[in-house]
């Protein structure tokens, strides 16, 4: 009964919400230079002060220690030895230069600094293949105003044009408060030829895990190959946008990323402004207060969703580790035909993709618990089928 009332309320709310207000897209080839964040401090002192607070989100957890199975699951790429948790936007340049993972090209800066975003907008795709160190010498700051506003603080402008390319005709259906974040909080790959950052879809409906997997199958794409099993694997990256907008999402169409991650704050003079401290909604009193009408215990609900997703992610990740080791043994045993091994490899590739789609999503299930559980089901099914063949 309570659920029905909540659902009705959510529907009412969704209907009352105005249609998505789209962002605009930056003009490219214009020879722009980036107005640095500090230049806006005087015009928007409150926004700027809240932006600086991202420095406080500084803690890092070593995922390789926390999840020992990834040493095996990511074997064949550097994430298996160097993989730290995400932290505040302030640290992106420091973190990308000190990952321990090898990086040769400037394309690693795609989601780290507006100086690179402007380089792409000025020079085109050739910027992606610039040597990493050459670009580093030109970097002035981490993620800043230019990334989401071009040089017009206040109006939301998509400056990462691959997002507009990937949305195609659906671009105007995405609210600006979501489009701003979807520039980086998405699954992507580097085009094998141009090394340009590219998203694996061309519309909103092609953004589901199933469509993305089909896209990679179609182009026979792999980020890395496991040296012991020969499995050509896909490394999924932070698919927050795809997960939140995906099938089963309760709040897509009702809230934007900014609604839940950038609250309205009030300064000493009693004026309101949009907080630019990007935090969990649970860490912001202003945001949680706006949810309280429907969620009496938001933290408890989120913790429950996350605990369940986490338990399954660890269990299935451990099975993937077992599968990798048993397949490696099978490869050297000489007891299996190439066809038999390839059938196991295909299931391993698929299982790891669906598992990774959840493992690297930063809300740990909270953005869309239905889709999260569905991905975990698909991962487990593939891994179990592979194990049964060995
Ligand atoms: C990661 C993306 C992002 C970055 C970086 C960013 N903003 Fe914003 N900003 C937004 C979004 C999204 C909104 C609109 C929020 C909404 O409408 O709910 C916004 C709104 C604003 C507004 C309008 C507030 C209002 O009251 O209408 C101003 C002014 C602003 N930003 C200034 C800045 C300045 C100055 C910087 C750099 C110090 C900056 N922004 C950095 C995403 C960003
Ligand atoms: C230009 C790329 C970019 C844009 C745009 C962007 N992010 Fe991020 N975001 C990142 C990166 C990269 C990190 C991880 C930083 C690190 O660990 O060094 C991050 C980290 C975060 C974190 C902290 C995660 C943690 O575990 O502590 C939050 C929250 C966040 N982003 C929310 C948002 C929201 C909300 C928006 C849109 C308003 C947004 N981001 C737009 C790139 C971006
Ligand atoms: C309905 C509210 C809601 C919306 C809309 C939403 N999120 Fe979240 N997000 C959450 C919750 C809840 C968490 C889990 C917070 C926690 O664990 O403390 C979360 C976690 C995150 C994190 C990890 C933050 C951290 O501190 O660990 C990032 C990054 C993030 N969201 C980005 C996004 C992006 C990008 C979008 C839009 C595509 C988005 N979120 C839309 C509620 C929302
Ligand atoms: C109008 C009512 C309403 C408001 C306001 C509301 N929610 Fe919800 N929310 C719901 C309903 C209904 C569900 C589905 C719960 C269920 O199935 O038990 C839900 C589910 C969620 C979930 C879990 C999603 C999932 O996939 O399982 C999160 C996280 C969440 N809400 C966060 C928020 C945050 C953060 C806010 C405030 C910014 C908020 N909600 C405001 C009604 C609301």
* SS3 state at 107: helix
Q: CA 345 to CA 330: how far, in whole Å? A: 11
Give a yes or no: residue 45 inside a domain. Answer: yes
Residue 12: band (very low, low, confident or very high) from pLDDT cuts 50, 70, 90: very low
**Confidence (pLDDT) at 10:** 46
220's tokens: 């026979």
Residue 376 CA, chain-centre distance (Å), reads: 17
Residue 5: band (very low, low, confident or very high) from pLDDT cuts 50, 70, 90: very low
| Burial category of 170 from C-beta neighbours within 10 Å (exposed 0-12, middle 13-18, buried 19 and up) | middle
What are 278-329's pLDDT values in tens digits?
999 999 998 999 999 999 999 999 999 999 999 999 999 999 999 999 999 9
Give a yes or no: residue 252 inside a domain. Answer: yes
Give a yes or no: residue 112 inside a domain. Answer: yes
| Protein residues with CB under 6 Å of any ligand 4 atom | 3, 6-7, 9-10, 13, 250-251, 255, 259-260, 281, 287, 290-291, 293-295, 298, 302, 305, 366, 368-370
Pairing of strands 232-233, 264-266: unpaired
The lowest-confidence range among 75-79, 210-214, 331-335 is 75-79
**Confidence (pLDDT) at 100:** 66
383, pLDDT greater than 80 = yes
7, pLDDT greater than 90 = no
The lowest-confidence range among 28-37, 205-214, 219-228, 315-324 is 28-37
Mean pLDDT (the chain, rounded): 92
The lowest-confidence range among 74-83, 129-138, 328-337, 370-379 is 74-83
Q: Is 274's C-beta closer than 6 angstroms to any atom of ligand 2?
A: no
**Confidence (pLDDT) at 93:** 85
* Domains contained in the chain, number: 1
What are 175-204's pLDDT values in tens digits?
999 999 999 999 999 999 999 999 999 999
Q: Which atom of ligand 3 is nearest to the CA of 251?
A: 1
Give a yes or no: residue 157 inside a domain. Answer: yes
Give a yes or no: residue 27 inside a domain. Answer: no
* SS3 state at 278: coil
CB–CB of 109/96 below 8 Å? yes
Q: Is 116's C-beta closer than 6 angstroms to any atom of ligand 2?
A: no
* Domain span at 63: 34-388
Q: Is 112's C-beta closer than 6 angstroms to any atom of ligand 1?
A: no
Distances (CA, A) of 336 to 66, 313, 323, 331, 386: 35, 30, 15, 7, 13
Distances (CA, A) of 165 to 29, 157, 293: 16, 14, 38
CB–CB of 98/106 below 8 Å? no
249's tokens: 């999402």
Q: Is 63's C-beta closer than 6 angstroms to any atom of ligand 2?
A: no
CATH of residue 56's domain is 1.10.1130.10
Beta strands in the chain (DSSP E): 24-25, 157-158, 189-190, 197-198, 224-225, 232-233, 264-266, 272-274
37, pLDDT greater than 90 = yes
Q: Is 184's C-beta closer than 6 angstroms to any atom of ligand 2?
A: yes
Give a yes or no: residue 145 inside a domain. Answer: yes
30, pLDDT greater than 90 = no
**Confidence (pLDDT) at 61:** 85
210, pLDDT greater than 70 = yes
What are 48-106's pLDDT values in tens digits?
999 999 999 888 888 888 999 999 999 998 777 777 888 899 989 888 887 766 668 99
Backbone dihedral angles phi then psi of residue 50, each to the nearest 5 degrees: -70, -35
Q: What is the mean pLDDT of residues 39-50?
A: 97
Give a yes or no: residue 16 inside a domain. Answer: no
Q: Which atom of ligand 1 is nearest to the CA of 147?
A: 5
Q: Which atom of ligand 4 is nearest to the CA of 363?
A: 29
Q: Hey, CA dihedral for 184, 48, 52, 141, is it positive or negative?
A: positive
Give a yes or no: residue 5 inside a domain. Answer: no
Q: What is the mean pLDDT of residues 194-222?
A: 97
């Amino acid at each position: 009964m309570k659920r029905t009332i909540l659902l009705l309320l959510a529907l009412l709310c969704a209907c009352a919400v105005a249609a998505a207000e789209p962002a605009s897209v930056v003009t490219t080839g214009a020879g722009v230079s980036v107005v640095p964040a500090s230049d806006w401090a005087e015009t928007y002192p409150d926004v700027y002060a809240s932006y600086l607070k991202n420095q406080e989100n500084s803690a890092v957890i070593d995922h390789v220690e926390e999840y020992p199975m990834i040493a095996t699951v990511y074997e064949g790429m550097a994430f298996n030895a160097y993989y730290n948790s995400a932290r505040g936007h302030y640290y992106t340049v420091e973190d990308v230069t000190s990952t321990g993972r090898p990086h040769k090209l400037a394309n690693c800066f795609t989601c780290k600094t507006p100086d690179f975003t402007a380089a792409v907008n000025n020079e085109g795709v050739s910027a992606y293949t610039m040597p990493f160190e050459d670009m580093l010498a030109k970097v002035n700051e981490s993620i800043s105003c230019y990334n989401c506003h071009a040089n017009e603080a206040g109006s939301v402008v998509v400056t990462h044009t691959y997002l507009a390319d990937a949305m195609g005709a659906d671009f105007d259906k995405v609210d600006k408060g979501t489009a701003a974040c979807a520039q980086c909080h998405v699954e992507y790959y580097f085009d094998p030829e141009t090394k340009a950052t590219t998203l694996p879809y061309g519309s909103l409906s092609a953004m589901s895990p199933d469509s993305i997997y089909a896209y990679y199958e179609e182009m026979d794409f792999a980020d890395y190959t496991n040296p012991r099993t020969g499995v050509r694997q896909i490394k999924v990256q932070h698919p927050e946008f795809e997960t939140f907008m995906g099938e089963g999402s309760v709040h897509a169409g009702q809230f934007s990323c900014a609604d839940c991650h950038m609250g309205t704050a009030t300064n000493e003079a009693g004026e309101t402004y949009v907080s630019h401290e990007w935090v969990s909604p649970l860490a912001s009193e202003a945001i949680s207060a706006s949810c309280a009408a429907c969620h009496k215990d938001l933290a408890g609900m989120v913790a429950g969703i996350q605990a369940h997703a986490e338990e399954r992610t660890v269990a299935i990740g451990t099975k993937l580790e077992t599968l990798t080791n048993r397949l490696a043994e099978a490869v050297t045993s000489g007891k299996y035909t190439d066809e038999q091994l390839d059938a196991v490899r295909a299931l391993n590739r698929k299982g790891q993709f669906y598992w990774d789609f959840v493992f690297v999503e930063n809300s740990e299930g909270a953005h869309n618990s239905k889709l999260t559980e569905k991905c975990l089901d698909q991962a487990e099914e593939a891994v179990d089928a592979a194990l049964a063949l060995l």
